[in-house]
Amino acid sequence: MSDDHPQMSTTEAIGAAATGGVAEVCGHAAAGDEPGRLLLELDGVAAGYDQALALRDVGFRAHAGERIAILGPNGGGKTTLFRVVLGELAVREGRLALHDEVAVVPQTERSRLDFPVSALDVVLMGTIAHRPWWRGAGREERAKARAALRAVGLEDRADAGFGALSGGQRQRVLVARALVRDSRILLFDEPFTGLDTASSERLQQLIDELAAAGHVLLIATHDVGQARGWDRVLCLNGRQVAFGDPAATLTADTLQATYGHDLLRLGDGDAVAVICDHRHG
């Protein structure tokens, strides 16, 4: 981390006290980057909007090196969970503990494409949290942003207009923007939506590389088959339905409880199809 953000050595409670839940930012653990390091804990977490709870009973632990699929129907609570982890929504019940910083990779489809910004400019936006708002990006930040673009295979497109890139390239630029924040906890909001096969394979490879480098990745997806290939799966439907190893967790019964009427069972086994709506208002 930069000197502007000294490492936090003591647990710092944030938000939520008035609503009954607890969120803790525990800073960077002294243990370093070893695989399997605990990065994120939730215990009985509930959150919502206005008077209503949108999500409840969420409890799981996430470790360095894990790719965790977040499955759920439209309105199941995936975005709500991300907003809680990002500190945008209060923890109304239970406890959330962050043992590293968090960054989100938003859906590229929701990006504004008409701003005259380059790929490098977009990545540099990720360094703003690490410097005073009034100071422009310096040599150190620019070098870091170029290194992040190199890590996602786009160093040669640094000066290209963000809106002129392909959907897959834009998604990787947004990953680079998350990487310059030095965050070990990465949240991906349906990152494969709208990508062609080649871009999807490239992003899948990048996700594998980030996990191998010691990040934990929470990836909201509607693709049950994809979730089966990752390390853990979290099933949400207004509450936590299940969490665990995909092979043991993704039974037809669990998927039925997760998706309800949005699930089509194919035959007598665990083969299913999920009906989902990718349109967002």
Q: Which of 59, 75, 138, 163 binds ligand ATP (CB under 6 A)?
A: 75
Least distance CB 138 / ligand ATP (angstroms): 37
Q: Which of 27, 77, 168, 191 binds ligand ATP (CB under 6 A)?
A: 77
Q: Which of 16, 25, 45, 54 binds ligand ATP (CB under 6 A)?
A: 54
Least distance CB 80 / ligand ATP (angstroms): 3
**Residue pair 238/54 in contact by the 8 Å Cβ criterion:** yes
Q: Is 207 exposed, middle or buried (0-12, 13-18, 19+ CB in 10 A)?
A: buried
Residue 191 is a binding residue for ligand ATP (CB under 6 A): no
Instruction: For residue 252, give both structure tokens.
Output: 């037809």
Least distance CB 242 / ligand ATP (angstroms): 15
Residue 98 is a binding residue for ligand ATP (CB under 6 A): no
Q: Which of 21, 27, 65, 72 binds ligand ATP (CB under 6 A)?
A: 72
Q: Which of 21, 76, 94, 246 binds ligand ATP (CB under 6 A)?
A: 76
Least distance CB 267 / ligand ATP (angstroms): 26
Q: Which is nearer to ligand ATP, 158 or 234 (CB)?
A: 234
Contact region with ligand ATP (CB under 6 A), list: 12-20, 37-45, 73-81, 173-181: 73-81
Q: Which is nearer to ligand ATP, 161 or 167 (CB)?
A: 167
Question: Using CB under 6 A as the criterion, which residues of the chain lie in contact with ligand ATP when the complex forms?
Answer: 49, 54, 72, 74-80
